A and B are shown apart, each in its own frame.
Chain A
């Protein structure tokens, strides 16, 4: 079975400070892992994807995530938060041989000026 746990429902950071959004996954097979961002009234936008080519994945807007198989984690980080980063973030797991995405419950990121 596949599942995703986002450990924090809300994260609040000051502008210019680091961001850490935590995600743990469970998968019986070798998964693909994604982070998507959802701004209010906008569609889900892909931030980055892990494909097993490299454990540290760089995405758009300065975000990156590290795949740690031993910890079954795929945490999202950014060195310095911007006001425009305020949004809902979803960690997603998908089987490489499957079809559907399994979403976490989301982490709401607030950036304080």
Chain B
């Protein structure tokens, strides 16, 4: 596809369950980012991949959150033992390179933890 694709667009789960959120970046983009946007707030950085490796995971709130990008393209954000406070829109972005380059965003996955 031409843009960043995120699936599912909406995810409803129960407290304590495990969820996976998928991001398919723009073809050829080496950098991939995950952000979390809570209601009424700007997006907050979670983790950044350069290729297959997580170059910066300083934004992950705790060890229930984990992300992978095994082949340097598609990435999966994994949340274990979900809590109601995890409810938010999770945004993925990709860019060609890093360091101030334009990031292109997907439409996001809206996660609701009941």
Contacts and interface: CB of A to CB of B under 8 A. Distances in A.
A46 B45 CA distance: 17
A113 to B, nearest CB: 25
B107 A99 contact: no
B48 interface: yes
Given A43-B105, A99-B31, A106-B42, A94 B91 contact: no
Interface range, A side: 20 to 34
A79 B91 CA distance: 31
Contact of B42 (A32, A41, A49, A103): A103
A100 B99 contact: no
Contact of B48 (A4, A100, A102, A103): A100
A43 B42 contact: no
Interface in B24-48: 31, 33, 35, 40-45, 48
Interface residues of B, number: 28
Contacts, number: 67
B56 interface: yes
Interface in A78-104: 90, 94-104
17 contacts: A43-B3, A43-B4, A43-B107, A44-B91, A90-B42, A90-B43, A94-B100, A95-B100, A96-B99, A99-B31, A99-B33, A99-B48, A100-B33, A101-B43, A101-B93, A105-B41, A106-B42
